[in-house]
Structure 1
Amino acid sequence: MANIVNYISEAFEELKSNVTWPEWSEVQRLTIVVAVFSIVFALVTWGVDEMCAKSIAGIFNLIKS
Protein backbone atom coordinates (compact mmCIF):
# COMPACT_ATOMS: atom_id res chain seq x y z
CA MET A 1 0.00 0.00 0.00
CA ALA A 2 2.89 2.36 0.73
CA ASN A 3 4.18 1.82 -2.80
CA ILE A 4 0.89 3.02 -4.28
CA VAL A 5 0.83 6.16 -2.11
CA ASN A 6 4.47 6.85 -2.98
CA TYR A 7 3.74 6.40 -6.69
CA ILE A 8 0.78 8.80 -6.57
CA SER A 9 2.71 11.46 -4.64
CA GLU A 10 5.64 11.22 -7.07
CA ALA A 11 3.24 11.48 -10.01
CA PHE A 12 1.73 14.69 -8.61
CA GLU A 13 5.19 16.10 -7.98
CA GLU A 14 6.12 15.29 -11.58
CA LEU A 15 3.02 17.09 -12.84
CA LYS A 16 3.80 20.18 -10.75
CA SER A 17 7.49 20.49 -11.56
CA ASN A 18 8.23 18.93 -14.95
CA VAL A 19 5.11 19.35 -17.09
CA THR A 20 4.76 22.47 -19.22
CA TRP A 21 1.10 23.45 -19.13
CA PRO A 22 -0.33 25.42 -22.08
CA GLU A 23 -1.71 28.92 -21.74
CA TRP A 24 -5.47 29.25 -21.23
CA SER A 25 -5.92 30.95 -24.63
CA GLU A 26 -4.19 28.03 -26.36
CA VAL A 27 -6.41 25.56 -24.51
CA GLN A 28 -9.51 27.44 -25.67
CA ARG A 29 -8.27 27.61 -29.27
CA LEU A 30 -7.44 23.92 -29.42
CA THR A 31 -10.76 23.01 -27.79
CA ILE A 32 -12.58 24.88 -30.56
CA VAL A 33 -10.46 23.11 -33.20
CA VAL A 34 -11.31 19.72 -31.71
CA ALA A 35 -15.02 20.59 -31.46
CA VAL A 36 -15.19 21.76 -35.09
CA PHE A 37 -13.30 18.71 -36.31
CA SER A 38 -15.61 16.43 -34.33
CA ILE A 39 -18.70 18.04 -35.83
CA VAL A 40 -17.30 17.86 -39.37
CA PHE A 41 -16.26 14.22 -38.89
CA ALA A 42 -19.70 13.36 -37.50
CA LEU A 43 -21.41 15.00 -40.49
CA VAL A 44 -19.17 13.17 -42.96
CA THR A 45 -19.84 9.87 -41.20
CA TRP A 46 -23.59 10.56 -41.23
CA GLY A 47 -23.44 11.42 -44.96
CA VAL A 48 -21.57 8.22 -45.86
CA ASP A 49 -24.00 6.21 -43.73
CA GLU A 50 -26.99 7.78 -45.50
CA MET A 51 -25.46 7.09 -48.93
CA CYS A 52 -24.80 3.46 -48.02
CA ALA A 53 -28.32 3.04 -46.62
CA LYS A 54 -29.91 4.50 -49.76
CA SER A 55 -27.69 2.38 -52.00
CA ILE A 56 -28.59 -0.80 -50.15
CA ALA A 57 -32.29 0.14 -50.18
CA GLY A 58 -32.04 0.76 -53.93
CA ILE A 59 -30.40 -2.61 -54.53
CA PHE A 60 -33.08 -4.37 -52.49
CA ASN A 61 -35.80 -2.52 -54.44
CA LEU A 62 -34.24 -3.70 -57.73
CA ILE A 63 -34.10 -7.27 -56.46
CA LYS A 64 -37.66 -7.13 -55.12
CA SER A 65 -39.14 -5.75 -58.35
Structure 2
Amino acid sequence: MTKVVNYISEAFQELKTNVTWPLWADVQRLTIIVAVFSIIFALLTWGVDTLFGKAIAGFFNIIK
Protein backbone atom coordinates (compact mmCIF):
# COMPACT_ATOMS: atom_id res chain seq x y z
CA MET A 1 0.00 0.00 0.00
CA THR A 2 2.93 2.32 0.70
CA LYS A 3 4.10 1.96 -2.91
CA VAL A 4 0.70 3.06 -4.23
CA VAL A 5 0.57 6.11 -1.96
CA ASN A 6 4.16 6.98 -2.88
CA TYR A 7 3.36 6.64 -6.60
CA ILE A 8 0.32 8.91 -6.35
CA SER A 9 2.26 11.46 -4.30
CA GLU A 10 5.09 11.53 -6.84
CA ALA A 11 2.61 11.82 -9.72
CA PHE A 12 0.98 14.88 -8.15
CA GLN A 13 4.38 16.40 -7.46
CA GLU A 14 5.39 15.90 -11.08
CA LEU A 15 2.15 17.52 -12.25
CA LYS A 16 2.89 20.54 -10.07
CA THR A 17 6.52 21.02 -11.06
CA ASN A 18 7.19 19.52 -14.51
CA VAL A 19 4.00 20.06 -16.49
CA THR A 20 3.52 23.27 -18.42
CA TRP A 21 -0.16 24.09 -18.13
CA PRO A 22 -1.83 26.25 -20.81
CA LEU A 23 -3.13 29.69 -20.02
CA TRP A 24 -6.83 29.97 -19.17
CA ALA A 25 -7.47 32.05 -22.29
CA ASP A 26 -5.95 29.31 -24.46
CA VAL A 27 -8.08 26.67 -22.77
CA GLN A 28 -11.24 28.68 -23.42
CA ARG A 29 -10.32 29.35 -27.06
CA LEU A 30 -9.47 25.73 -27.78
CA THR A 31 -12.60 24.50 -26.01
CA ILE A 32 -14.74 26.70 -28.25
CA ILE A 33 -12.91 25.42 -31.34
CA VAL A 34 -13.47 21.79 -30.30
CA ALA A 35 -17.15 22.46 -29.53
CA VAL A 36 -17.73 24.13 -32.91
CA PHE A 37 -16.02 21.34 -34.86
CA SER A 38 -17.91 18.72 -32.84
CA ILE A 39 -21.22 20.35 -33.73
CA ILE A 40 -20.22 20.64 -37.40
CA PHE A 41 -19.12 17.00 -37.49
CA ALA A 42 -22.36 15.89 -35.81
CA LEU A 43 -24.44 17.84 -38.32
CA LEU A 44 -22.49 16.39 -41.24
CA THR A 45 -22.90 12.87 -39.86
CA TRP A 46 -26.64 13.45 -39.41
CA GLY A 47 -26.90 14.79 -42.97
CA VAL A 48 -25.07 11.86 -44.53
CA ASP A 49 -27.11 9.40 -42.44
CA THR A 50 -30.35 11.05 -43.56
CA LEU A 51 -29.23 11.08 -47.19
CA PHE A 52 -28.27 7.42 -47.17
CA GLY A 53 -31.45 6.50 -45.32
CA LYS A 54 -33.58 8.18 -47.97
CA ALA A 55 -31.49 6.64 -50.76
CA ILE A 56 -31.89 3.15 -49.34
CA ALA A 57 -35.62 3.69 -48.75
CA GLY A 58 -35.98 4.88 -52.35
CA PHE A 59 -34.04 1.89 -53.61
CA PHE A 60 -36.29 -0.54 -51.75
CA ASN A 61 -39.40 1.29 -52.98
CA ILE A 62 -38.15 0.83 -56.54
CA ILE A 63 -37.57 -2.89 -55.93
CA LYS A 64 -41.13 -3.45 -54.66
Q: What is the count of residue pairs matched by the alignment? A: 64
Counterpart CA distance in 1 for 2:7 and 2:45 is: 42
Name the counterpart of 1:18. 18
Task: Spell out, residue by residue over 1:14-65, the C-alpha distance to the aligned partner (whole angstroms, 9 max, x if none).
Answer: 000000001000000000000000000000000110011001000110011x
Gap regions ≥5 residues in structure 2: none
Length-normalised TM-score, structure 2: 0.97
Gap regions ≥5 residues in structure 1: none
Name the counterpart of 1:6. 6
Moved over 4 A (4+): none
CA RMSD of aligned residues (A): 0.5
